[in-house]
Amino acid sequence: MRRFVKAVSSSIVMQAVLSVLLGLFLTMWPQATTVTVVYLFAAYLAITGIVSLISYARHRSERDGYRGALATGILMVVLALVVFVFPEAVAGFFSLILGIVLVMSGVLNAVRSVELRLFGGGSWLGTLIVSIAIALGGVVIIVNPFDTTVTFVLVLGLLLVAKGVIDLVVVWLASSKSKAAGE
């Protein structure tokens, strides 16, 4: 039993330390982290586009069907350039899409919650309140998409730090109880 606890503990400790480190990084530099993710996306687009263009150049004489590789390559490289030039707008665009989805989901769930009222009971009111909160959160994201994304990254960082600390406490308590029990 002790070996099992030790094996599980070391894995959890490693994950907890990584969570705390990543969480601190996200918490200290949320805007830089958001822009970095967008740049990584742009790099992916650029690499994919260049690979498609190379594929087209290597095989164009063999088949006429490689025009798709040319079009894909050009599109990917152009998209990569747009993302590199306007990273905040791209991050805001993804947040805008998320905001629209949240508003639609919140409104849809609010309608369903009101329909639940017909079946009696008070559970419909709780789901209605949560649905309205989700829709309002979506509106906030739509109004200010980039800053909302940065705030989300900040909150994510804080949650990762909290998760890591809690994991470390749980491992410490489990190992203390294991030692106290003499296992």
Write the pLDDT tens digit of every residue in 23-33: 898 889 888 88
Can you give the pLDDT at residue 36? 86
For the segment 135-159, the average pLDDT, to the nearest whole number, is 84
What does the mean pLDDT of the chain come to? 82
- Where in the sequence is the domain holding 95, given as residue range(s)? 2-180
Q: Check pLDDT > 80 for residue 121.
A: no
Q: Check pLDDT > 60 for residue 154.
A: yes
168 closest CA partner among 4, 7, 14, 6 = 14
How many domains would you assign to the chain?
A: 1
Please say whether the beta carbons of 124 and 145 come within 8 A. Answer: no
Helices (H), the chain: 2-28, 30-59, 67-85, 87-116, 123-143, 145-180
Can you give the pLDDT at residue 79? 92
For the segment 67-83, the average pLDDT, to the nearest whole number, is 87
More confident residue, 181 or 41: 41
